[in-house]
């Protein structure tokens, strides 16, 4: 009987803990007003806890949680053990995370570099403070001093429901953009700490909704939007019909599942119909047509994006990425090219080869996936595309460097290719290009404010605040240089900025893809030869 009572009381405590945590991380709808656009962003005076109520919704679908391999009933009974076990596993597996926890000297160089801190003034959004949430647990449970003398001795944190709620809040106010790492003298990458924290939160049953619904759709159906194969075929046929009608070229195509094509082209599924994304799809098709290169898209690999990256879950990332590898193998293509998507590019260029071994049946001149900007710039440089730049004369164009490209990996095998190649394409198709201020572009670029799982409507307050540095930089370029179009190569940035521009009083038509500009300038018809 005594044992039964103990069990009942333990169960009661667990239920209480779960209920407390659910209450603490309850989704609260908050709408934030945009600030006035002055052309400059200010580093704010701190306002402690100003954004503590802003957190994403939890995933509650039991079927989806089961499919993804997560606990299905919220916080699990033995959450403290599982939390520490998962953290231990991460520290052993990813030595960089352990190193980042060990070597911070609190120099403060990163404190004012995060767009979410600049926007919200909440001190926990300073990168060093965000990382400190994990560091305090690390010091308490993973150092001998913490183990022996407890949290006070090492300025650590004991695990508690309140701490979990703070983790869930602030590790979902980080877009893993890595800007802070550029300014840290030790190269500490808070994005990696955020990813690790999200993995730990998932393991104890706190699973964010927006991102995991997308991961589930990408794994079970094949794309982030959950479009079935016939819907993909219909959407792409519609794009092809539109292209044939508007260009009056009957043989321009958007090929699907063509075995033996030279190129497998993968892109985010948003490109199939979202605006302004679809304009770039028209541009890609025109480039392939005019270059005379056989290409195909795939219903099996109908998604370029890979949200597995955002939750530090290589299992998810690998499963999603594998479709691209399988499609390339099954369609017997010679090269793989990726469209305009920041994190797709990072996964394709940085992780594909190590996840699946080399794509060694590909043409040896293109042994790894290429970016569409590399492909297009090469054609432009060789004079293989006929271009009428005046078609874009209504625009003074600037470029938003998407973080996952800018701070991901070089492009085209050249140093700084990720900055110069996209700009080379823009300059190749437009007469007027102006950069935004130097401290907001290239390796120091600011996130659009919605990366890495924060694009859902539940995070709108964070999105509005996190967009401030980019909006101020754009408004500066607009006022001082007459800029009226921002070109991007990231599907999430396109979605975020085309919502933020009108929020800040700028027309959404001023946001678009680089290949939207290419599509406007390319002169179809007589081939120049490649």
- Which residues are at the interface with ligand SF4 (CB under 6 A)? 104-110, 113-114, 116, 127-128, 130, 174-180, 184, 186, 188, 190-191, 194, 342, 402-404, 447-448, 450-452, 490, 492-493
Q: What are phi and psi of 33, to 5 degrees?
A: -80, 145
Least distance from ligand SF4 to the Cβ atom of residue 280, Å:
15
Contacts of 232 (CB under 8 A, 6+ apart): 223, 256, 269, 272, 299, 302
Name which of 171 and 288 has its Cβ closer to ligand SF4: 171
Distance CA 407, CA 87 (A): 26
In three-state secondary structure terms, 495 is: helix
Least distance from ligand SF4 to the Cβ atom of residue 472, Å:
15
Name which of 140 and 470 has its Cβ closer to ligand SF4: 470
Check if the beta carbon of residue 408 is closer than 8 Å to that of residue 342: yes
Distance CA 408, CA 451 (A): 14
Check if the beta carbon of residue 406 is closer than 8 Å to that of residue 450: no
Name which of 117 and 433 has its Cβ closer to ligand SF4: 117
Least distance from ligand SF4 to the Cβ atom of residue 315, Å:
22
Name which of 59 and 450 has its Cβ closer to ligand SF4: 450
Name which of 28 and 103 has its Cβ closer to ligand SF4: 103
Count Cβ atoms below 10 Å from residue 42 Cβ, excluding itself.
13
Contacts of 500 (CB under 8 A, 6+ apart): 34, 448, 449, 463, 464, 467, 470, 471
Q: Measured at the alpha carbon of residue 103, what is the angle toward residues 101 and 106, in degrees to the nearest 5?
A: 95
Going by C-alpha positions, the residue among 129, 137, 132 that lies closest to residue 91 is: 137
In three-state secondary structure terms, 152 is: helix
- Using Cβ positions, the residue closest to ligand SF4 within the complex turns out to be 451
Distance CA 219, CA 231 (A): 17
Least distance from ligand SF4 to the Cβ atom of residue 175, Å:
5
Least distance from ligand SF4 to the Cβ atom of residue 291, Å:
27
What crossing angle do the helices spanning 372-381 and 514-521 adopt, rounded to 10°? 30
Least distance from ligand SF4 to the Cβ atom of residue 145, Å:
20
Check if the beta carbon of residue 438 is closer than 8 Å to that of residue 162: no
The DSSP bridge partners found for residue 371 are: 338
Distance CA 10, CA 21 (A): 16
Q: Which two tokens stand for residue 244?
A: 């044939």
Name which of 336 and 448 has its Cβ closer to ligand SF4: 448
Least distance from ligand SF4 to the Cβ atom of residue 219, Å:
21
Name which of 192 and 213 has its Cβ closer to ligand SF4: 192
Name which of 296 and 306 has its Cβ closer to ligand SF4: 306
385 DSSP assignment: S
Least distance from ligand SF4 to the Cβ atom of residue 368, Å:
20
Least distance from ligand SF4 to the Cβ atom of residue 186, Å:
5
Check if the beta carbon of residue 474 is closer than 8 Å to that of residue 506: yes
Check if the beta carbon of residue 323 is closer than 8 Å to that of residue 303: yes
Going by C-alpha positions, the residue among 328, 413, 406 that lies closest to residue 377 is: 413
Name which of 128 and 471 has its Cβ closer to ligand SF4: 128
Name which of 175 and 313 has its Cβ closer to ligand SF4: 175
Name which of 288 and 446 has its Cβ closer to ligand SF4: 446
Distance CA 511, CA 431 (A): 18
Going by C-alpha positions, the residue among 359, 352, 366 that lies closest to residue 322 is: 352
């Amino acid at each position: 009987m005594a044992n039964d009572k103990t069990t009942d009381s333990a169960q009661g405590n667990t239920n209480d803990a779960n209920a407390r945590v659910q209450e603490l991380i309850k989704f609260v709808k908050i709408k934030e007003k945009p600030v006035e656009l002055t052309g400059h962003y200010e580093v704010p005076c701190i306002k402690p806890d100003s954004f503590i109520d802003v957190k994403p919704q939890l995933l509650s679908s039991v079927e989806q949680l089961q499919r993804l391999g997560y606990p299905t009933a919220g916080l699990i009974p033995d959450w403290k053990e599982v939390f520490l076990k998962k953290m231990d596993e991460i520290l052993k597996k990813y030595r960089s995370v352990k190193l980042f926890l060990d070597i911070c000297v609190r120099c403060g160089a990163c404190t004012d570099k995060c767009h979410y801190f600049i926007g919200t003034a909440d001190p926990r959004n300073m990168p060093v403070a965000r990382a400190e949430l994990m560091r305090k647990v690390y010091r308490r449970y993973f150092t001998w001093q913490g183990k022996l003398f407890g949290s006070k001795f090492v300025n650590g944190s004991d695990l508690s429901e309140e701490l979990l709620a703070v983790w869930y809040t602030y590790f979902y106010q980080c877009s893993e953009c890595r800007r802070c790492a550029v300014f840290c003298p030790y190269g500490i990458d808070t994005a990696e700490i955020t990813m690790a924290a999200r993995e730990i939160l998932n393991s104890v049953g706190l699973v964010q909704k927006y991102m995991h619904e997308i991961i589930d759709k990408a794994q079970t159906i094949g794309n982030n939007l959950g479009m079935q194969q016939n819907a993909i075929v219909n959407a792409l046929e519609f794009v092809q019909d539109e292209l044939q009608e508007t260009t009056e070229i009957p043989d321009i195509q958007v090929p699907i599942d063509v075995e033996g094509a030279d190129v497998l082209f993968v892109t985010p599924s948003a490109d199939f119909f979202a605006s302004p994304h679809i304009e770039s799809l028209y541009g890609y098709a025109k480039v392939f047509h005019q270059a005379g290169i056989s290409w195909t898209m795939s219903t099996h690999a109908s998604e370029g994006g890979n949200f597995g990256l955002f939750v530090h879950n290589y299992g998810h990332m690998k499963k999603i990425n594998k479709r691209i590898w399988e499609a390339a193998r099954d369609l017997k293509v010679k090269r793989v090219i990726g469209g305009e998507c920041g994190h797709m590019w990072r996964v394709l260029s940085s992780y594909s080869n190590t996840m699946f071994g080399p794509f060694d049946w590909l043409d040896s001149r293109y042994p790894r996936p290429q970016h569409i900007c590399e492909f297009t710039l090469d054609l432009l440089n060789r004079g293989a595309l006929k271009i009428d730049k005046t078609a874009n004369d209504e625009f003074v164009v600037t470029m938003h460097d998407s973080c996952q490209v800018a701070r991901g990996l070089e492009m085209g095998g050249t140093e700084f290719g990720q900055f110069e190649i996209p700009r080379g394409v823009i300059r190749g198709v437009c007469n007027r290009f102006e950069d935004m201020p130097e401290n907001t572009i290239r390796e120091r670029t600011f996130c659009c404010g919605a990366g890495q799982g924060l694009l859902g409507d539940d995070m709108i307050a964070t999105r509005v605040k996190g967009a401030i540095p980019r909006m101020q930089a754009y408004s500066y370029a607009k006022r001082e240089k007459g800029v009226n179009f921002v070109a991007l190569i990231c599907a999430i940035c396109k979605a975020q900025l085309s919502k933020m521009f009108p929020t800040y009083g700028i027309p959404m038509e001023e946001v678009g893809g680089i290949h939207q500009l290419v599509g406007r300038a390319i002169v179809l018809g007589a081939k120049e030869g490649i």
